[in-house]
Chains A and B, each alone.
Chain A
Amino acid sequence: MSCNIEISGLTKRFGQNTVLNNIDLCLKPGERVAIIGPSGTGKSTLLRCLNFLDAPDEGRITLGDLKVDAARASKADILALRRRTGFVFQNYALFANKSARQNIMEGLTTVRGWPAAKATDRANQILTRIGLADRGDSFPSALSGGQQQRVGIGRAMALDADLMLFDEPTSALDPEWVGEVLDLIRAIADGRQTMLIVTHEMQFAREIADRVVFMEGGRIVEQGPPDQIFGNARDERTRAFLRRVG
């Protein structure tokens, strides 16, 4: 298996508590990996560590030619890593002082230094892609939860990231908006975009993922194709979890 994204030995402690314990994970280009598991088990922390929103204590993150050693990551390493990973937040976290279009453009103009016209064109393409072509001038406060999360996804898409990280993208949504957000993620999971998705939507994980990773207690317990994990899990902990949620 050729990995172009590789995580090895990733460990994160909060005080005495080891939240991530020696995580190894390898993603092939275009692969869609869903992470499932009980709450408080380190799934979100893993994603946040990959983007250095929480700084991991040990381990290595390799993104193509970018190699970051967690223990001695420089500011430049962290910025480079962030610029090559898109992050979709559970609570959308849109910039409240910027319109939908500006939210999407911000990473292009401020971070990449694109001229405004070019960034506007790209943002308009993305707005169409996320089904909000007519809402580009709306501020987040004027958008529904589902629309806000679609803009959140659009903002991450604009980066053309090597890896997109979804941190429970539908958990904060009213049930009526979950469908449209999942539909959008399905649409961009076209086999070219590598994705790591933390989700509680088991049906969605099963349908969209090439591989499902089950985590518990800060470790990866088992991983495999969706049919195997959902139909024929080897580890008793996985089966117990799936019985509880299923």
Chain B
Amino acid sequence: MNALDIAYMWDLVPVIAGYIPLTLFMALVSMVLALILSAMLAIVRVLKLPVIDRGVAIFISFFRGTPLLVQLFLFYYGLPQLFSFMTNINGVTAAIIGLTLHFSAYMAESIRGAILGVDRSQWEAAASIGMTQGQLLRRIILPQAARTAAPTLMNYFIDMIKGTSLAFTLGVTEMMGAAQKEAAGSFLYLEAFLVVALFYWGIVEILSVGQRRMEQYLGKAVAR
């Protein structure tokens, strides 16, 4: 058995590092879109808007009930069969759509819980001074719910970064895809995948530190 080829691993570092921007790009875009979508889904559920509420419940159930990989394949390989405009969809776009829909289903449930966690009397107080439902959500309820949901949403963002590695199955060369290609040429699978694993770990660790700082800050701000 050969020892780990450390020199080869060093050579891989800049190669893999070159794909960090793409990985972060996919994760960030998906996160921003998922935040917007999940907030809308959560509001529909909280207000129990007739008809759409039912649709949203099914949407959430489906995207939480099926694997992300299956969803990605469905979008990238499956749907173009039905919709011809989707044949030209590229892997990055398909991955962003898949990650957005998948994670917004989870995030919607967290946000919904956080909204319901805001004392009911504050809804009434806001209504009593004549605020519309939109105003009271935007000004009073959502800012408080956001603080409650922030730590959980941050966890989903970390999951999302790791989830971008699945884009490689759609032919996207991101960090994981690059490692796979390198390994296929050198046959040094352990080295290549170890390097990419350390990269993911490093990124997630950096974010976790940020998350702890944020929680401390928010903890102070919402102390009751």
Contacting residue for A82 out of B128, B140, B143, B222, CB 8 A: B128
Q: Which residue of B lies closest to A54 (CB)?
A: B124
Instruction: Tell me whether B124 and A89 are in contact (CB under 8 A).
Output: yes
B82 contacts chain A at the CB level, 8 A cutoff: no
Instruction: Tell me whether A96 and B128 are in contact (CB under 8 A).
Output: no
A232 contacts chain B at the CB level, 8 A cutoff: no
What separation, in Å, do the CA atoms of A98 and B119 have in the docked complex?
A: 14
CB proximity of A195 to chain B, nearest CB, Å: 15
Instruction: Tell me whether A155 and B124 are in contact (CB under 8 A).
Output: no
Looking at the complex, which of B31-39, B59-67, B131-139, B209-217 is the stretch in contact with chain A? B131-139
Looking at the complex, which of A103-111, A206-214, A221-229, A235-243 is the stretch in contact with chain B? A103-111
B5-40 vs A, Cβ < 8 Å mask (1 yes, 0 no): 000000000000000000000000000000000000
Instruction: Tell me whether B129 and A159 are in contact (CB under 8 A).
Output: yes
Instruction: Tell me whether B124 and A106 are in contact (CB under 8 A).
Output: no
Q: Which residue of B lies closest to A103 (CB)?
A: B125
What class of interface size applies to chain A in its complex with B? 20 to 34
Which residues of B lie under 8 Å from residue A187 when comparing CB positions? none
Instruction: Tell me whether B139 and A89 are in contact (CB under 8 A).
Output: no
Instruction: Tell me whether A141 and B223 are in contact (CB under 8 A).
Output: yes
Contacting residue for B126 out of A79, A95, A152, CB 8 A: A95
On whether A89 and B121 interact (CB within 8 A), knowing A106-B139, A110-B139, A111-B135, the answer reads: yes
B144 contacts chain A at the CB level, 8 A cutoff: yes
Highest count of chain A CB atoms <10 Å: which of B122, B125, B129, B131: B129
On whether A155 and B129 interact (CB within 8 A), knowing A53-B124, A93-B124, A106-B139, the answer reads: yes
Contacting residue for A96 out of B124, B131, B135, B144, CB 8 A: B144
A22-46 vs B, Cβ < 8 Å mask (1 yes, 0 no): 0000000000000000000000000
On whether A82 and B223 interact (CB within 8 A), knowing A91-B121, A97-B144, the answer reads: no
A86-127 with Cβ < 8 A to chain B: 86-87, 89, 91, 93-98, 106-107, 110-111
Which residues of A lie under 8 Å from residue B129 when comparing CB positions? 82-83, 86-87, 106-107, 111, 155-156, 159
CB proximity of B218 to chain A, nearest CB, Å: 12
Instruction: Tell me whether A93 and B130 are in contact (CB under 8 A).
Output: no
B127 contacts chain A at the CB level, 8 A cutoff: yes
On whether A96 and B122 interact (CB within 8 A), knowing A110-B135, A111-B135, the answer reads: yes
Which residues of B lie under 8 Å from residue A83 when comparing CB positions? 129-130
Highest count of chain B CB atoms <10 Å: which of A87, A93, A156: A93
A51 contacts chain B at the CB level, 8 A cutoff: yes
Give the total number of A-B pairs whose CB atoms are below 8 A apart: 70
Contacting residue for A107 out of B130, B144, B147, B222, CB 8 A: B130
B contact residues, total (Cβ < 8 Å) = 22
Instruction: Tell me whether A53 and B128 are in contact (CB under 8 A).
Output: yes
Which residues of B lie under 8 Å from residue A107 when comparing CB positions? 129-131
A42-85 vs B, Cβ < 8 Å mask (1 yes, 0 no): 00000000011100000000000000000000000001001101
What separation, in Å, do the CA atoms of A229 and B223 have in the docked complex?
A: 46
Instruction: Tell me whether A110 and B119 are in contact (CB under 8 A).
Output: no
Instruction: Tell me whether B139 and A53 are in contact (CB under 8 A).
Output: no
What separation, in Å, do the CA atoms of A119 and B118 have in the docked complex?
A: 26
Which residues of A lie under 8 Å from residue B126 when comparing CB positions? 95, 106
Which residues of B lie under 8 Å from residue A110 when comparing CB positions? 131, 135, 139
Q: Which residue of A lies closest to B130 (CB)?
A: A83
Highest count of chain B CB atoms <10 Å: which of A82, A83, A97: A97
Contacting residue for A94 out of B125, B143, B223, CB 8 A: B125
Which residues of A lie under 8 Å from residue B140 when comparing CB positions? 95, 97-98, 106
Q: Which residue of B lies closest to A158 (CB)?
A: B129
Q: Which residue of A lies closest to B136 (CB)?
A: A110
CB proximity of B117 to chain A, nearest CB, Å: 11
Report 11 cross-chain contacts, Cβ distance below 8 Å, ordered by A residue: A53-B124, A85-B128, A87-B129, A89-B125, A94-B125, A96-B224, A106-B140, A107-B130, A111-B130, A152-B125, A156-B129
7 tightest A-B CB contacts, nearest first: A83-B130, A93-B121, A107-B129, A93-B125, A87-B128, A82-B130, A111-B130
